[in-house]
Chains A and B, each alone.
Chain A
Amino acid sequence: GNSVTQMEGPVTLSEEAFLTINCTYTATGYPSLFWYVQYPGEGLQLLLKATKADDKGSNKGFEATYRKETTSFHLEKGSVQVSDSAVYFCALRGGGFKTIFGAGTRLFVKA
């Protein structure tokens, strides 16, 4: 079945550092890929998405490119801020329309 694997956290960075959170997926067909973010005490917010191979999703300085050849959707940001501290979930939607989530990666950004 479909699944998502993302790097374990926590990830601790200093402000203005470069962020990469790795995500790979297993799926039949052509799923849509997403990154969701969960700030402390809050729900899940869509951060960005990509619906086909080579699409790049971007939002708030975050980017991720749908790589079908490597079945990856790594999240990157060039310069993180303290306010980016949150849990980041990689996710996919394939046949059946349910969203399947990775385990989540907690990011701590120090001032």
Chain B
Amino acid sequence: EPEVTQTPSHQVTQMGQEVILRCVPISNHLYFYWYRQILGQKVEFLVSFYNNEISEKSEIFDDQFSVERPDGSNFTLKIRSTKLEDSAMYFCASSFGGLGTEAFFGQGTRLTVV
């Protein structure tokens, strides 16, 4: 069964450093997403990406964040100058289309900023 894969599963970084979280969405999907879950809290939408551009972003997704689809298979989230409060589980998701289709989520990358 096709699945969304994320690497690494756990990343520890020093405050102020840049991190890149990587995702391989399901191959025939067209829409890509990043979500964040701070420990014990709700899953929050960060950004959606379609046709090689951001289609929607939340107020969390400020200039510190960027996304890219560098080739035909990967989808990355870059976090510049990480802060302690960026520590969270980051989920990548993809979907084939719009309403009526579900998003498939990866296993997540746990980011710890120290």
Contact with B along A29-61 (1 / 0, CB 8 A): 011101010000011111001010000000000
Chain B residues with CB below 8 A from A30, complex form: 99
CB distance from A2 to the nearest CB of B (A): 11
Query: Bound complex: CA of A31 vs CA of B100, how far in Å?
Result: 8
B residues at A contact (CB < 8 Å): 31, 33, 35, 41-45, 48, 55-56, 91, 93, 95, 98-108
> Known contacts being A101-B42, A102-B42, is A44 close to B91, with CB within 8 Å?
yes
**Whose C-beta in chain A lies nearest to the C-beta of B31?**
A97
CA distance A24 to B104 in the complex (A): 22
Could you say which residues of chain A place their CB within 8 Å of the CB of B56?
Answer: 96-98
Inter-chain residue pair count (beta carbon < 8 A): 60
With an 8 Å Cβ cutoff, the count of chain A residues facing the other chain is: 25
Q: What's the minimum C-beta distance from A106 to chain B, rounded to whole angstroms?
A: 9
Taking CB as reference atom, which chain A residue is nearest B44?
A101
A103 at interface (Cβ–Cβ under 8 A)? yes
Asked whether A89 and B31 contact (CB < 8 A) given A51-B99, A51-B100, the answer is no
| Assembly CA distance A88 to B84 (angstroms) | 27
Interface contact A46-B102, CB-CB below 8 Å: yes
CB contacts (< 8 Å) of B98 on chain A: these are 97
Task: Say whether A93 contacts B99, CB under 8 Å.
Answer: yes
Residue of B nearest to A102 (CB): B42
